[in-house]
Amino acid sequence: MKKVNIRKIITIFSAVSCLTIGLSTLATPINAKNTSGTAALNSPTKKTVIVKKKTYLYDKRGRKLKKKVLKKGQRIAVSFKTKKIKGQKYYFVTKDKFVLAKLVIKTKVKSKAKKLKKQTKLPNSNKLTNSDNQTQSEHEFPTITNFSITEFRQEFLKELNKERAQRGLSAVTEDPRLDEIVQERTKLLPANFSHNDSAGNFILNDFFNKAGVVRKTTAECIAAFPWGATVDRSNNELINAENNASSALVADNMLYEYIYNDAQSNWGHRNILLDPNDKTIGLGALADKDSGQICSSVGVIY
């Protein structure tokens, strides 16, 4: 019976996690703990905000409720009702519980997306310049329903190989068969944001085994990132990017967090994606409309 080496690291930007299994001796998991991509709070549904960085709920006196952790990227419903506590503005979340206004960003919850103004397009010209009195015709900002798995995969692979090339590492290839397997595995993430099932089995590894995928090792990074947001590279906080929302933007942000904002997980995600031994990856991603996030799994084998 083969033993496996298990290394598990979990951190959160909205939520990201990675796990590696190799064919060697059993090792002790590192920083293994359960996490969830989102958490529902019962509150007046006046507007939705996104948490910019890890924070907490506060009571009416401004005291931190340490058991009420809000994760970076988490969407919560707040009331238009605000309260000033010790000179700082708070949003009302639920009975006697508040969130610091400066630590969240607003999202639009209208059913109709904001539109750009119509402008006249000059005849016999396909080029646009700043001096031309022309722009594209009426355009709606993309919503999560516009998510494209094809665009996501193309961008993630391109940027990942760019990061590898900068470090003198060989490019990885994306395998259509692995894509299909990892995509099926990704469908489980909204309900179970974990590498393991209820019996403690490594889900992606089981999917690969059932599909007969030949490999020496299995590694996985999972993530959930809010649509319409981006990471401010100067401070690693989330900022609103609804007008530039795209599948490629989500892919860029996920990869950035995996490689450059991974200290909380001891750089486990970065080590998986920039492993010199990596050969092939499979990419899965889907739009979870209930949470407003894109859930993704990256399966890496060699």
| pLDDT in 10s for each residue of the chain, 302 residues | 343 333 333 333 445 666 665 432 222 222 222 222 222 222 233 567 788 788 888 888 888 887 778 888 787 777 656 778 888 888 877 767 888 888 887 764 332 332 333 333 333 433 333 444 444 434 577 899 999 999 999 999 999 999 999 999 999 999 999 999 999 999 999 999 999 999 999 999 999 999 999 999 999 999 999 999 999 999 888 888 888 999 999 999 999 999 999 888 889 999 999 999 999 999 999 999 988 899 999 999 98
pLDDT tens-digit map of 163-197? 999 999 999 999 999 999 999 999 999 999 999 99
From 140, 131, 102, select the one nearest 243 (Cα to Cα).
Answer: 140
Put simply, whether the predicted model's pTM sits higher than 0.85 gets the answer: no
How many helices and strands (H and E) does the chain possess?
Answer: 5, 16
* Strand ranges (E), the chain: 5-11, 15-22, 47-51, 55-58, 64-70, 75-78, 82-85, 88-94, 97-100, 104-107, 173-174, 217-226, 229-232, 237-240, 280-288, 293-301
